[in-house]
Amino acid sequence: MNTEPERKFGVVVVGVGRAGSVRMRDLRNPHPSSAFLNLIGFVSRRELGSIDGVQQISLEDALSSQEVEVAYICSESSSHENYIRQFLHAGKHVLVEYPMTLSLAAAQELWELAEQKGKVLHEEHVELLMEEFAFLKKEVVGKDLLKGSLLFTAGPLEKERFGFPAFSGISRLTWLVSLFGELSLVSATLEERKEDQYMKMTVCLETEKKSPLTWIEEKGPGLKRNRYLSFHFKSGSLENVPNVGINKNIFLKDQNIFVQKLLGQFSEKELAAEKKRILHCLGLAEEIQKHCCSRK
């Protein structure tokens, strides 16, 4: 991306919560990838008028404007599918925060639509751009996994807005799949105490070589945002990740990847492998949800 941009893609940011605000900041700062992008405005359900000189525009205007060529979807997860569909139909490229949808069928349909329209559909996975993940990737390479577990704790999260925990927590599943390959579901349970805003999802998975992996999402008041992991290999074990430094500009790194896609700098093979991983994870998340709901 050292080349001078011949043209800039007009961008609109949909949803200006935590992720949307970071996206707008990155778009307005002089980064190599931001040079290819021109922030035209933002869409929000709230009446905000403008943020730091960036104008709010209506969804209708964002969809119909010739100037807008790219949409960043940063709204709550339950609205992603609808926004992606509308922007693809309007002939725009789409970057969406994970999870892109809350069902596998919807994701497959939207991917087909993007391919039909010749547009980039990019699902953000900043967890794969973290220092901890880079450390883990190096650690597990060439090792035979015997068993492993990954526990994530955090404060309460509304299922209605962010989806079932297997979807809202899909970044943890993406870690496991990216480290150990495609996984299959053995069992899944969900323990919930709505009056206490507490939930715990326990998922048993296995690798293609039948090594067991346990994934737990636990959310409730007073639980700190934390990740605990333990991987046992034939050659030793790994308990939690040492402090490997601060994750700098991970959303910007994700934007760099998106711009490379806009410029056609990714091979078909790389794009196909990424799509396969994303659909595999969404398929597993859906299977986990069905498993938990059928047991109630």
Please pick, among 69, 81, 123, 127, the residue that the annotation labels catalytic. 127
User: Rounded distance, CA 275 to CA 93, Å?
Assistant: 16
Catalytic: 81? no
User: Rounded distance, CA 255 to CA 231, Å?
Assistant: 31
User: Rounded distance, CA 261 to CA 162, Å?
Assistant: 27
Please pick, among 97, 123, 132, 286, the residue that the annotation labels catalytic. 97
Catalytic: 235? no
Catalytic: 225? no
- Kindly give, in sequence order, each residue whose CB lies less than 8 Å from that of residue 255, ignoring residues fewer than 6 positions away: 23, 26, 27, 31, 33, 34, 37, 95
Extract the annotated binding site for NADP(+): 16-19, 44-46, 77-80, 98
- Kindly give, in sequence order, each residue whose CB lies less than 8 Å from that of residue 206, ignoring residues fewer than 6 positions away: 183, 184, 186, 212, 213
Please pick, among 123, 124, 132, 286, the residue that the annotation labels catalytic. 124
Catalytic: 171? yes
Number of Cβ within a 10 Å radius of residue 37: 23
With tokens 């992996």, the residue in question is 213
The candidate with the shortest Cα–Cα distance to 202, out of 160, 165, 167, is 165
Extract the annotated binding site: 16-19, 44-46, 77-80, 98, 280-281, 292-293
User: Rounded distance, CA 165 to CA 158, Å?
Assistant: 9
- Kindly give, in sequence order, each residue whose CB lies less than 8 Å from that of residue 49, ignoring residues fewer than 6 positions away: 55, 56
Please pick, among 172, 211, 217, 277, the residue that the annotation labels catalytic. 172
DSSP per position, 28-97: HS--TTGGGEEEEEEE-SS---EETTEEB--HHHHHH-SSEEEEEE-S-GGGHHHHHHHHHHTT-EEEEP
Please pick, among 33, 69, 98, 217, the residue that the annotation labels catalytic. 98
Catalytic: 6? no
With tokens 């391919």, the residue in question is 115
Catalytic: 127? yes
Query: Which residues are identified as catalytic?
Result: 97-98, 124, 127, 171-172
